[in-house]
Amino acid sequence: MQYHVIDVFTDKLFSGNPAGVCMLDMWLPDETLQGIATENNLSETAFLVKQNNYYDLRWFTPELEVDLCGHATIASAYVLFDDIENAADVIKFKTKSGIMAVTREDELLYLDFPSRPVTPCTIYPAFERAFGIKPIAAYKAVDFLVLVDSEQILRNIKPDFSILRQIKTEAGLNSDSFGIIVTAKGSEYDFVSRFFAPNAGIDEDPVTGRAYCSLVPFWNEKLDRKVMTARQLSKRGGVLYCEDHGSRVKIGGKVVRYLKGNIQLS
């Protein structure tokens, strides 16, 4: 089985968000896919099977399957553009969240993802206890979005993940497939963010494409700016080029290949 590791939302190795990409001839049992993702131990591993004019695509964290993942979708498209679909400018994927497309535009690969606007929600006590700060406001779509006062405050957050996991109980959630976006207005960039998903086996994700399904409409409303640049302030860090198109968002980034090899299943 072909296996690739691609660093996404960066133009240099060892930064951005690494995603595993596995090319399959046919679907393997779910427990095998989960086993591979757990063994790889990246925030997401993508699995692809070629159909007629599109590719079936699924994403797994080290602990579970998720319904949407940005960086592993861009990584999958990069592998296809580079190794298989050399003449194409658009790759289409069929996923649990519908048909997704990635477009190649010069040095950038752009996701076309559904917009997920947030609505206000309770500032749960676990947010303040876990982050050691009082948020300005809290919101929710699929993921939580927590607004803080400044970029510096966001940089300095050192979450207590044992407390952060309690959000599931406080909010009465049944699924572990959610994250907590923390965001602030940026200084060099339009906005900045960090993303935590300890219930899904990812304490802090380096760069999180799916988060921008909510961040882009949120900051467009606040800044009155449909085209924005953003930075995710993880240790590895990453830069994203964002556009708000109403019911859809475009999320672009640069990509670097780290590894190409084979997985042996005996």
pTM of the model: 0.91
132 in the same domain as 104:
no
20 in the same domain as 135:
no
Dihedral, CA atoms, 11, 13, 17, 21, nearest 10 degrees?
100
pLDDT of residue 266: 78
110 in the same domain as 190:
no
Burial class of residue 86 (count of CB atoms within 10 Å of its CB; 0-12, 13-18, 19+): exposed
137 in the same domain as 85:
no
238 in the same domain as 141:
yes
Residue-range definition of the domain harbouring residue 187: 119-246
* Nearest residue to 76 via CA among 53, 105, 47, 96: 47
- pLDDT tens-digit profile of 50-72? 998 899 999 999 999 999 999 99
184 in the same domain as 233:
yes
Please list, residue by residue across 12-28, b when 16 or more beta carbons sit within 10 angstroms of its beta carbon and e when fewer do.
Answer: eeebbbbbbbbbbeeeb
13 in the same domain as 100:
yes
Active-site pick, 31, 39, 44, 63: 44
pLDDT of residue 179: 96
Q: Which residues of the chain have pLDDT under 50?
A: none
129 in the same domain as 20:
no
Question: Which residue type sits at 5?
Answer: V
> The domain that contains 41 carries what CATH number?
3.10.310.10
pLDDT of residue 128: 96
pLDDT of residue 52: 86
Residue 244 pairs in a beta bridge with 249
173 in the same domain as 238:
yes
Phi, psi (degrees; rounded to nearest 5) at 171 = -90, -5
87 in the same domain as 37:
yes
257 in the same domain as 227:
no
Dihedral, CA atoms, 131, 163, 212, 43, nearest 10 degrees?
120
C-alpha 83/C-alpha 99 separation (Å) is: 22
Q: Which residues contact 200 (CB under 8 A, 6 or more apart)?
A: 61, 63, 64, 66, 176, 177, 178, 179
188 is annotated as an active-site residue: no
240 in the same domain as 129:
yes
Structurally, the chain folds into a number of domains equal to: 2
